[in-house]
Structure 1
């Protein structure tokens, strides 16, 4: 029997070439409405998953849906002005209202399951652990320091020497990189501008350039399962940072294909081939990924996979709402509105 290493190598070398998206064109009103409908259907199924598993969903899962709720509110307001998209606007509004109710209920369960984590961390994501071990606890502490949510009533925009070194450390990858980006995104949202934070945009540009490279590598190897979560997280965070080139139609098509049809969640694919399963296990071990707060269900559903997926899809929907009309001749491969410059 072939070794997992050999199987993985064969899988990577036998992948088909990259093809453009088979989704409808965006330069017609019908194409735009069709794609919006596909995204909405996926989000409705994911919200059903949230509703069904609400007592078991952890904070990481809730955060992605909270981001989605905000995106839906913006989309609803935009589409209400377009006669062709008004029916979709009603669907968006209904979904946003349902999410608002579910997220309010989720607080009760989160307080029961992990009250300390809910109180202290606010927004904490899993991390990549290379050989020199990027410390998730240290990263969490830096976010708490930045937000000013310490027990001793710390002020926002705090930055210790250790956090400065950690959050600007070069050469980070995967979840280490996303933690660094999240830190500077939150610094901008909090209005931190002094000292290092004066260069926040520089670091955001730098990190998203590297995250784009990681996403292209994930695409080049056929979106192997262990790469999907960080792939979607990169779209989520860099999309929040305003990098519209992450909204590629072929990437949207890939994400939509990963949703479990029956459960509505995102997570581990149904792998029947034993050799492929071993290759995935080997790659997971090689990546040394640590998900301290991950919630994996027996049916393969993942709270974090689902959270990053819905936030990424919500970003696609938000950008689609801003997409120019047919006579604006947009680029067909990327959901990018025309520049305002």
Structure 2
């Protein structure tokens, strides 16, 4: 499958304006509780969407909610110790318990709709698979590629094959941490962008979560640093063009994955505010924005023709809801909540306030 990287990169060429956020400051308990409440409300609405359409949610969508469930469990434990946050802790615990029940039911439906795909990726749905960061760092702009590949040869089939090889679920005799020459080449290929880049990062994140340390995996942190530096650059470019709809999914996926990698500078208040504004309030999902203007609708359709992610198992509903958009959104929002819980009000999100300098690319 040829990916539309050239047009995507054309859209992502401007330098980002550093728009301020109108959300409350995080250096007080009140501000922190207010922001946490906004995130929780969004996550509760998204969980309602999951519950309402559970038989139709694909595995990728379920994975995002599994990540969220783990984030909520950690947040609940942290806030239970703070008398000022115990009411929020109870609310988080209620949501986590509801999610756990829904996730168990989702596996039943996935066994019916896509049993082979479920067998290959079921480890990622198990409680505890997704390890949350305990230490934080920031991206290094000096690692950003001078140029991105003009043609992105990313293939979901090839990526899936490498991820299955890594998980050790290809067949009964395969073992975790497998790495063929072709997968080594694909997952370390320089100059990747968009989903090619995020899947390269996912490969090394999963390697770390599976405890793979031999050979190439001895250098996992180097690749994680490299890929997240470039994902930060692409997110800043997405911000520069006003978060045009076709860039939102990869924008949130980058926050989800690099947040799991421990990069605190992906948790910007203005990015949180943007993500919250994209949720469909009535449905609770994330996806194609409501467009009333016919001409604007044509522009978006034209962009989607070139920029859409051709995902074999993606589920796009007639009301514009997207399972993949919603999955990346809830995991990104759960990451914001996790960072809030990990840091006391005096510190807020790790070094959040000073904006990063504009990229030179």
Distance change (3 Å), C-alpha of 1:171 and 1:126: closer
The one-character-per-residue Cα deviations of 1:223-248 (angstroms, maximum 9, x if unpaired) are: 00000000000000000000011000
The one-character-per-residue Cα deviations of 1:258-308 (angstroms, maximum 9, x if unpaired) are: 000100010100011122222222222233631111101111000000000
Judge conservation of contact 2:46–2:285 (CA < 8 Å) in 1: yes
Work out the CA distance in 2 between the residues paired with 1:10 and 1:195: 37
CA RMSD of aligned residues (A): 6.4
TM-score for both structures, normalised by structure 2: 0.84
Judge conservation of contact 2:286–2:329 (CA < 8 Å) in 1: yes
Work out the CA distance in 2 between the residues paired with 1:2 and 1:140: 16
Distance change (3 Å), C-alpha of 1:339 and 1:188: farther
Judge conservation of contact 1:267–1:300 (CA < 8 Å) in 2: yes
Judge conservation of contact 1:12–1:221 (CA < 8 Å) in 2: yes
Judge conservation of contact 2:162–2:179 (CA < 8 Å) in 1: yes
Judge conservation of contact 1:247–1:334 (CA < 8 Å) in 2: no
- Compute the displacement of 1:157 (Å): 1.0
- Compute the displacement of 1:188 (Å): 0.9
Give the aligned partner of residue 204 of structure 2: 184
Give the aligned partner of residue 287 of structure 1: 307
Distance change (3 Å), C-alpha of 1:10 and 1:237: closer
**Runs of 5+ in structure 2 lacking a partner?**
121-140
Distance change (3 Å), C-alpha of 1:337 and 1:96: farther
Out of 187-196 and 262-271, give the one that drifted further.
Answer: 187-196
- Compute the displacement of 1:171 (Å): 1.0
Judge conservation of contact 2:232–2:266 (CA < 8 Å) in 1: yes
The one-character-per-residue Cα deviations of 1:111-163 (angstroms, maximum 9, x if unpaired) are: 11111111129999999998453221111111111111121421111111111
Out of 67-76 and 330-339, give the one that drifted further.
Answer: 330-339
The one-character-per-residue Cα deviations of 1:201-239 (angstroms, maximum 9, x if unpaired) are: 000000000000010000000000000000000000000
Judge conservation of contact 2:69–2:96 (CA < 8 Å) in 1: yes
Judge conservation of contact 1:320–1:335 (CA < 8 Å) in 2: no
Judge conservation of contact 1:60–1:303 (CA < 8 Å) in 2: yes
TM-score for both structures, normalised by structure 1: 0.89
Distance change (3 Å), C-alpha of 1:129 and 1:53: farther
Out of 10-19 and 89-98, give the one that drifted further.
Answer: 10-19
Distance change (3 Å), C-alpha of 1:3 and 1:55: closer
Work out the CA distance in 1 between the residues paired with 2:144 and 2:56: 18
Give the aligned partner of residue 75 of structure 2: 75
Judge conservation of contact 1:148–1:155 (CA < 8 Å) in 2: yes
Judge conservation of contact 2:2–2:153 (CA < 8 Å) in 1: no
Give the aligned partner of residue 94 of structure 1: 94
Work out the CA distance in 1 between the residues paired with 2:358 and 2:74: 19
Judge conservation of contact 1:76–1:90 (CA < 8 Å) in 2: yes
- Compute the displacement of 1:194 (Å): 1.1
Judge conservation of contact 1:127–1:176 (CA < 8 Å) in 2: no
Give the aligned partner of residue 189 of structure 2: 169
Judge conservation of contact 1:58–1:293 (CA < 8 Å) in 2: yes
